[in-house]
Structure 1
Amino acid sequence: MDRFIVISGCSGGGKSTLLGELARRGHAVIDEPGRRIIAEEREGSGRALPWVSLSAFAERAVQLSLQDRERAKAMPGMVFFDRGLIDAAAALEHATGKAALKIYAGERYNRAVFMTPPWPENYVTEADRPHGLADAIQEYERLLSAFSSLHYDVRLLPKIPVVQRADLILRYFRLA
């Protein structure tokens, strides 16, 4: 789907803030599956929290990402995803050793994937993100490898203010 654009990368790298800016400008946005799962799990059993069972969390993230893709088909124009199916499949593969990336490789997004690099100056742990920066960097490296292995054009976002990041992405697609 050429109109489905993924913003992925390091936890704490500014993805959600960037997606908020794109939404503020009127673009369709799909919120990060992981944050939605964590919110649901905190209200329920808590068994699929990533720090309790990464495999259960990743399986839910894959299913939610597939649902998000279906929902996005009805949205007009470009749709920006705060993470997506490839992120979830990479987490599932990491947690279980299953070849999840190969299973979902056919569910394509736009060839250009925008990655937020580690940004130590901005990284904070929080209740929904208790892992440290070192774990976030390992995840980031897995995601770089995953998107590259599936022949996406990985574009690293510079460490600049969110408004400029949004401008950069929109200029790439000639939307600004």
Structure 2
Amino acid sequence: MNGRVLISGCSGGGKSTLLDEIEARGHAVVKEPGRRIVAEQKAGDGKALPWVDMAAFARRATEMARHDLSAAAERGGFVFFDRGLVDAAVALQQAIGVPVAETLAGAHRYAPCVFLAPPWPEIFTRDADRQHDLSTAIAEYHRLEQAFDALGYAICLLPKAPVSDRADLVLQKVGLT
């Protein structure tokens, strides 16, 4: 069984909160590359921030997500990802037109079922690291949805429900409850 479980979807849709809950229940989690890159860039020269140079940001996200995915494949067992390589490939395609399939070439795949957080306007917030608006997040969600479908992943939509219910659903679907 492929235990590399990807949680993707709309920015501001509750993914990181869900992953925090899954981690609190004792499961391995890989934090979102985008947030890690923003922290890294704010501590450095800031040239690869998404609002400064989206192409540089997407390239860095691709590199980081590829490393995360390879490390999880070597480790084995279940690992839950807050976004991942497909997200980065979709961002790179949007930024400079590199086809998703080209970015993913040779990479390990995630588990067959990808969990998508749909747009949830009631919980969407901007912050210092998420400077885009809800309409931009929704457009990104639709690009991701199309990419996962084209790549042959089964899409499991996360319900707009309390985080504990969402975590129960994910863990049940992957056979960990």
TM-score, length-normalised on structure 2? 0.95
- What do residues 5-52 of structure 1 show as CA deviations (whole Å, max 9, x unaligned)? 100000110000000011000111000000000000001111100011
SS of 1:110's partner is coil
Q: Report SS of the residue matched to 1:73.
A: helix
> Cα 1:29–1:73, aligned 2, differ >3 Å: closer, same or farther?
same
Distance 1:18 1:99 in 2: 30
Distance 1:105 1:155 in 2: 24
Corresponding position of 2:126: 125
Identity of aligned residues (%): 54
**Which range is displaced more, 125-134 or 94-103?**
94-103
Matched ranges for 1:68-83 at <5 A? 68-83=68-83
Alpha-carbon RMSD across the aligned residues, in angstroms, is: 1.3
The C-alpha deviation readout for 1:88-138, integer Å capped at 9, x for no partner, is 000001100111334405531111000000100001110000100000000
Gaps of 5+ in 1: none
Structure 2 alignment gaps of length 5 or more: none
What's the secondary structure of 2:156's corresponding residue? Answer: strand
C-alpha change, 1:118 and 1:18, in structure 2 (3 Å) is same
Whole-angstrom distance in 2 between the partners of 1:111 and 1:54: 29
1:152–1:106: structure 2 CA closer, same or farther, 3 Å change rule?
Answer: farther
How far has the Cα of 1:76 moved from its partner?
4.6
Q: TM-score, normalised by structure 1?
A: 0.96
Which residue is equivalent to 2:53?
Answer: 53
Question: C-alpha separation between the residues in 1 aligned to 2:105 and 2:158?
Answer: 24
Are the counterparts in 1 of residues 28 and 78 from structure 2 also a CA contact under 8 Å?
yes
